[in-house]
Chains A and B, each alone.
Chain A
Amino acid sequence: MSGTDDNTPTEAEKLGGSGPTTTEAPEPTTPESAGPSRSHSMLREIASGNALAGVLAVVLAVAVGSLMIALTDERVRETTSYVFARPGDFFQATWDAIWGAYTALFRGAVYNDRVDDFATQIRPLTETLKFAAPLIAAGLGVGLAFRAGMFNIGGRGQMLLAGAASGWVAANVELPTALHLPLAIVAGMVAGALWAGIAGVLKARTGAHEVIVTIMLNYVGFYLVFFMLSRQELLQAPGSGNPKSAPALETAVLPKILGERFNLHLGFLLALVAVAVVWWLLGRSTLGYRIRAVGENPSAARASGIDVGRTYVVVMLIAGALVGLAGANQVLGTVTSGVTVDLDAGIGFDAITVALLGRSRPLGILGAGLLFGAFKAGGFSMQASEGIPVDIVLVVQSLIVLFIAAPPLVRAIFRLPAKEAK
């Protein structure tokens, strides 16, 4: 135990001030008292850690990212060779590299001050929102499952199946827009829900661990969609030899909400609606209450008459539908030229990070999704204008996860007190 912990009261002790017999006597902060399911509670702590930890993780990741930018920059390396002769050069080069990189990221993600026309200036922001939409929707799907104590690692498979279903409806059904578009979206959400529901049913009925099931379903989903895309009689575009479906019909494409000059489409508004729905579901509805009860303490939920298995199934269905919305968003809005097995573009996995960073709370996920959308949009411009490999952005994203997963490390670096109340 470090020196800083000794004088730090736990929450219990603080509360004791207002009613001395209220609380347990302070216990030494030993992890042993955590009980048998320590890995489970650890994962839960990571999934629901406090907001400050998330912010600090981002700060740290950006800081380490700066180091990487400096290390990979050619001018910095040149100046290093004579750093003792002319240290000024070295620091100037380092500063230029880091400043250049992050301003390029900002210009690519939020506001480009290097062009005159206002529409072009704010175009990056609309790109960020476009990239954020599927991350938010899928992040909600992962986060909702977290809240029920389940780890939905199957975002990729769920998105692929959803994309395939949406893509098929978009390309093969002829209806007016008012019906066609909703039908295509719903088809994707249903497909995602059913694919995720498999994991829910298996867990409820047989106790199969959802992490393993969802990971394996990613592979099954990938090859299943690949197979369907390679068969003329199934999904493959007529007359084509590539594993790709026919493009979506106009009537099923998500309309652009800021006119043709911007790529931002209706999918972002749908993601916002999803945030609102999940917020209501978790905080205000009885179903959400039961989901949280099951996630926090399944045995108490069971002893109180809540059907835990059924809750697992329901949660996975809703989670899959949300991830499915992300898949539909991709196929009907972002890339409408036809479904391929690349449609998930890593979103299925990034959604896990988004949910972690957003602490599995709807508004947190919204913020984290926007941040990651900005990374995606800005990463390209960083590479284009500064020659910094886009991988740096991926490294920063990964570092965020790493720092979130290691709360003691973050606490030690920022000298925060040991974990208090959630």
Chain B
Amino acid sequence: MKLVLRNITKRFGSLVANDSISLEVSPGEVHCLLGENGAGKSTLMNVLYGLYQADEGEIVLDDQVQHFTGPGDAMAAGIGMVHQHFMLIPVFTVAENVMLGNESTGVAGTLDVAAARERVNEISERFGFHVDPDALVEELPVGVQQRVEIIKALSRDAQVLVFDEPTAVLTPQETDELMQIMRQLKEAGKAIVFITHKLREVREVADKITVIRLGKVVGEAKPTATNAELASLMVGRPVELVVHKDEPQLGDDALVVQDLRVRDALGRVHLDGITFTIRAGEVLCVAGVQGNGQTELTEAILGLQEHVEGSVTLDGKQLVGRSVRQVLDAGVGFVPEDRQEDGLVGGFSIAENLMLNRSFRSPFVRRGSLRRDALEEFAEQKLKEYDVRAPDIHTHADKLSGGNQQKVVVARELSRDLRLLVAAQPTRGVDVGSIEFIHKQVIATRDRGIPVLVVSTELDEVVALADRIMVLYRGQVIGIVPGDTPRETLGLMMTGERPKDMIA
């Protein structure tokens, strides 16, 4: 089925979210919609899916003009959507989720689960999904849950499949598997719209690329375009994808971690005796597949983990056994991996968020009361310095895009007197322009002689920032290698294979 969007315009009040956007997707083709957060990609797809009505323009499927008033119409017409946030019911089985909204019933209104189960098996086998129809969705890994979403769309004979930022929640392996699935679907003659802002994925899988910026189509590109070309189209100016950094000016050993063990409340071991050192003025990147102890490592340093053994010293001071506040006061800056959960208070203004870890003493506190004038002055200054795009300092943090939220967190952490910076997934869910900015800040911090620990599951980021790379696998250090170690070697290490030359 061929999908054509013709001059779609969608306005919200005075804001034009989509300005006369046209798009053509043919069967057996992956069409990438590339753009930064807020460029209007999701609005366009919501128009296509019937969630919004376009103010102008039309949706055409196989030469038939469509008028969708809701997702039901779109589904019936053969459009399937895989949302970024899964629309699944966790306590239902896969089969129950797949049949939801499209239940076939037997005599006396009983659910025909058997038929749904069969349908799941059939689709699952055809595309090699390996999904058990009787598994509870909440017990499945994220990548498999996403496949359930795909099965759900396919079970309704969707001919056009829309993937809305599908890789944001996936590990690198799961991402590779998804790419494979997309190729299979393409070969099966489906038309695929793939929305993303990650350049590497686009080049890997796309047949056509349309770049959207500020609600307009700003260009089309071939998959052979370079990352730099795509990025500058997206951002509207040349972007440096490679972080320029000089040789590190190494100082003394600053952060010394010895035989660190972390268990959870159930006694499971997450970190199994790891030892490493970061010198002043050095970036150590922790690489590894998500869930191999990285989260526990950063939380143990911060004092957020309960059952910690071993030793973590910063400039000779012991951090294990200290409260979070004492650790922060020792000069540790922390960019948590989940900024919405641990980094920001969504209902607080930008200004209030900027003093979140400084509510006990000056400069924003005088005798138990807030110094609002000092805080506001500080916030105005940081807003400019860190290029946070927001109407003003009173904007609530949850109204900001991911990149701007992260800039607020980074601004807060870097504006204290630091002796160590711990940054976990500093650019997850952040647009290209902000990634560039945040990476520069990390390197600038290093160059001020501060030791930096970066945890990232993105190899690109690890390679871009690291002076040395430590690979974690199942709670153990597989090796610490130089920053210029080839990706293939790192990839092997991430699967648990020890390199011959272990210490860098």
Contacts and interface: CB of A to CB of B under 8 A. Distances in A.
Interface of A: 1, 6-7, 9, 11-28, 30, 32-33, 280, 284-287, 289-290, 292-293, 296-297, 299-307, 421-422
B357 A17 contact: no
Given A21-B38, A25-B41, 5 more contacts: A13-B13, A13-B15, A24-B402, A293-B348, A303-B334
A311 to B, nearest CB: 11
B53 interface: yes
B359 A293 contact: yes
A299 B341 contact: yes
Given A285-B369, A305-B323, A300 B36 contact: no
A382 B395 CA distance: 47
B19 to A, nearest CB: 11
Contacts of A293: 345, 348, 356, 359
Interface in B80-120: 85-87
B389 A21 contact: yes
B85 to A, nearest CB: 5
A14 B395 CA distance: 12
Contact of A286 (B17, B343, B369, B401): B369
A6 B53 contact: yes
Contacts of A17: 13-15
Q: Which 3 A-B pairs have the closest CB atoms?
A: A9-B12, A305-B325, A25-B42
Contacts of B360: 286, 305
A9 B15 contact: yes
A25 B37 contact: yes
Nearest to B71: A28
Given A15-B395, A304-B328, A24 B43 contact: no
B328 A305 contact: yes
A422 B345 contact: no
A379 to B, nearest CB: 37
B39 A25 contact: yes
B77 interface: no
29 contacts: A6-B53, A14-B15, A17-B13, A17-B14, A22-B400, A22-B401, A22-B404, A23-B399, A24-B42, A24-B401, A26-B12, A26-B42, A26-B52, A27-B46, A28-B46, A32-B87, A280-B369, A285-B368, A285-B369, A286-B360, A290-B359, A292-B348, A293-B356, A296-B346, A296-B348, A297-B344, A301-B356, A302-B342, A303-B302
A20 B214 contact: yes
B368 A286 contact: yes
Contacts, number: 161
A28 B87 CA distance: 12
Contacts of B343: 300, 303
A7 B69 CA distance: 12
B365 A286 contact: yes
A305 B326 CA distance: 8
Contact of B38 (A25, A300, A307, A422): A25
B368 A287 contact: yes
Given A9-B15, A16-B38, A285-B370, A303 B342 contact: yes
B348 A24 contact: no
Interface in B426-440: 431, 433
Contacts of A26: 12, 17, 42-43, 46, 52
B17 A25 contact: yes
Nearest to B409: A300
Tell which of B215, B302, B356, B404 has the most Cβ of chain A within 10 Å: B356
Contacts of B347: 296-297, 422
Interface string B38-64: 111111001000011100000000000
Tell which of B215, B329, B347, B365 has the most Cβ of chain A within 10 Å: B347
Given A28-B51, A299-B341, A284 B38 contact: no
A21 B43 CA distance: 14
Nearest to A290: B359
A32 B352 CA distance: 27
Contacts of A292: 345, 348
Tell which of A9, A33, A289, A422 has the most Cβ of chain B within 10 Å: A289
A307 B87 contact: no
Contact of B389 (A22, A287, A301, A306): A22
Contacts of B215: 20
